[in-house]
Amino acid sequence: MRRIVLTLMLIATTAIGVGVAHGERVKRGDLLLSFNASFTPHALPRDRPAPVTVDLAGAVNTSSGVQPPQLRSIALDVNRYGRLNTRGLPTCQRGQLESTSTAVALDRCRGALVGHGLFKARVDFPNFDSFPVEGGMLAFNSRAQGRPTILMHVYGSNPVEATVVLTFKVTHNKRGTFGTTLFARIPKIASDLGYVTNIELSFGRKYLHNGKLQSFISARCAAPDGFLGAIFPLARGTFTFANDQRLTITLTRECDVR
């Protein structure tokens, strides 16, 4: 039964996936959301994209200490001056990842790897003491119904082994501040047995295609002419919960022109 509980918790953990020391926080009623994002390198070209790595971290908690409500969906919007590129990058299919450990998932889909991370959580097991859950997370490039997706492989081995695979749909927006959206729906049952304490994710991948260096994520510092840097909205996270609450955090960051 603990294996079943851990599997459900893994789904919840992946989905919440975004508390952290220097991120923004928002509170509505008893619900607290922390979200942080950063990128490296900090100095970027003004007029052309360059490879970057993006780091995400965060948590969902309550001020009273009770278990947070179920998370139903997560949407991550990325500034349009950052872009995702999968040209020539191998893909991985969901069936290759289901019921696999981290080692097996890498063995099958290493060529499609675009991110990795760690999670920690706690499960409030009915009629038992709560217990910690921890494990690793891998992100793989994929396609579903002809559209780009990111498969999130979550594998927990403490206290027992369990695997969950979530699909994040990737949408490119032609207008507005945010040019790319990653969206995932979360099973209703996912988070009613536990809560996230910490998650860290890092996205980035350089690879060769037709002899040319490609980057899964690239960006430029869109500062006006004559300015040595810019302040801009890097990312926006929107989290929808089972009690119809929706919390949104927009992260504003700086870049330097190199």
Give the model confidence (pLDDT) of 138-197 as tens digits. Answer: 999 999 988 999 999 988 776 667 788 889 999 999 889 999 999 988 765 444 565 656
Alpha-carbon distance of 103 to 188, in angstroms, equals 29
Q: If you search the block for the tokens 């019921």, which residue do you land on?
A: 99
Average pLDDT over residues 5-30: 57
Neighbours of 242 (CB within 10 A): 15
Q: CA-based diameter of the chain, in Å?
A: 64
3-class DSSP state for residue 86? Answer: coil
3-class DSSP assignment, residue 173:
coil
Find how far residue 220's CA is from the centre of its chain: 21
Strand partners, 209: 212
Residue 21: the pLDDT is 40
Query: Strands, E, within 100-191: which ranges?
Result: 113-123, 131-144, 147-158, 162-172, 178-185
pLDDT band at 14; cut points 50, 70, 90: very low
pLDDT band, residue 128 (cuts 50/70/90): low
Provide the pLDDT for residue 70: 74
| Average pLDDT score over the chain | 84
Scanning the chain, the segments in alpha helix (DSSP H) are: 2-16, 94-97, 102-109
Q: How far apart are CA 76 and CA 150, in angstroms?
A: 12
% of residues, the chain, pLDDT over 70 = 81
Averaged pLDDT for residues 89-104: 95
Distant-in-sequence, close-in-space partners of 23: CB < 8 Å, separation ≥ 6? 34, 35, 36, 37, 57, 58, 251
> CB–CB of 201/117 below 8 Å?
yes
**What are the φ and ψ backbone dihedral angles of 212, each rounded to 5 degrees?**
-115, 140
Identify the pLDDT of residue 19.
38
Instruction: Identify the pLDDT of residue 188.
Output: 57
pTM of the full structure: 0.85
Give the pLDDT band of residue 33 (cuts 50, 70, 90): confident
Q: Which two tokens stand for residue 28?
A: 């509505």
When pLDDT is averaged across residues 96-119 and rounded to a whole number, the result is 94
